[in-house]
Amino acid sequence: MTFEFHPDESLRRGVRRLARAELEAGIAELDTWRTQPDVAIHDVRRRLKRVRALLHLVRAVFPRVRRENAAVRDAARLLAPARDATARIQCLDDLVEHDPGPVATTDVATLRAVFVARHDDASAPKRLKRRIGEAREILEAVHRRARGWTVSTRDIDAAYDGLRRSYRDGRRVLGLAMQDPDAEDFHDWRKDVKSLWYQVALFRPLAPRAVARVHDESGRLGWTLGHEHDLTTLRRAVTDGSMPALDDRAFVVLVDAIDRRRTADRRLALRLGRTLYDARPREFIAALRADEPEPSAEPVH
């Protein structure tokens, strides 16, 4: 099932259908955790991001949005430790591959072994079973409630208005990041961009050409910001004193390599962001709507 609105579907029905489908699929994927835990957790968290992006899109016309968003967020947090441990290993491996000479030291190999041990601890069957069980209960409850969700309008205009606000929020944070490239605003911007990426895909059947461009641009920007975030998390893990001590040279070399990659990611993100957020929010929505086909004569269900 594609994560898209149907052209002749009311907003209310579309929100219910999409949320229930993603939650149902996510619950089914949780049940595969014994065979491929990392894959299952990655796939479920992606579905929960879609649901949260959908809720964020209609927050102005959905009175219960805070309750449902908090529930989905709590379920995702239960699955976060295993995912975060995997991300640190992958990020360190990528760093060594990108700069194999001075970074690939014995100390870094020892550091990686600690990350692997922490991943194995977070993914221990007994611990993971408990967390997945708790997440499953939460998602089953949200899935049941979603059948009766009351979005206060049937009109797709409300979804476009939500998309305009999401675009506005990301554009505002871009402005802050441009003023101070070292600010924590990159973390908030990453979430805004990822949400926009999921949200704009919903409109693909309504404005296919315009959506394709924005989806591609926001996808590339989101990946860049995600990589920058993983590097930031890795740097924090290396420097917070909880890891085995690296010798002075290895520590300096590793942190310098992380910082150089982060700087490159941030520069690329700002360049991509200036392209994506070039339009004013109302102009952005007008361009999408200009790509809409002629309205159907069929009634909206």
Boundaries of every domain in the chain: 11-289
Residue 300 pLDDT: 52
**Residue 106: pLDDT band with limits 50, 70, 90:** low
What's the one-letter identity of residue 294?
E
Q: Does domain 11-289 have CATH number 1.10.490.10?
A: no
CA torsion through residues 44, 46, 52, 58, sign = negative
Calculate mean pLDDT across residues 260-277: 96
User: For residues 122 and 136, what is the distance between their CA atoms, to the nearest angstrom?
Assistant: 18
Residue 105 pLDDT: 66
Mean pLDDT, the chain, whole residue set: 92
Calculate mean pLDDT across residues 290-296: 74
Residue 241 backbone phi and psi in degrees, to 5:
85, 0
User: For residues 76 and 66, what is the distance between their CA atoms, to the nearest angstrom?
Assistant: 15
Residue 166 pLDDT: 98
On the 0-12 / 13-18 / 19+ scale of CB atoms within 10 A, 231 is buried
| pLDDT above 60: residue 299 | no
**Furthest C-alpha separation in the chain:** 72
**Residue 86: pLDDT band with limits 50, 70, 90:** very high
Claim: this prediction has a pTM higher than 0.85: yes
**Residue 150: pLDDT band with limits 50, 70, 90:** very high
**Residue 220: pLDDT band with limits 50, 70, 90:** very high
| pLDDT above 90: residue 233 | yes
Residue 169 pLDDT: 97
The top-scoring range by mean pLDDT among 108-117, 265-274, 288-297 is: 265-274
List Cα–Cα distances, 29 to 34, 47, 71, 261, in angstroms. Answer: 10, 10, 18, 34
Q: What is the pLDDT of residues 115-136, one digit of tens each?
A: 999 999 999 999 999 999 999 9
| pLDDT above 70: residue 183 | no
| pLDDT above 60: residue 185 | yes
Tell me which residue has tokens 């219960």: 64
- Other CB atoms within a 10 A radius of the CB of residue 224 amount to 22
User: For residues 158 and 165, what is the distance between their CA atoms, to the nearest angstrom?
Assistant: 11
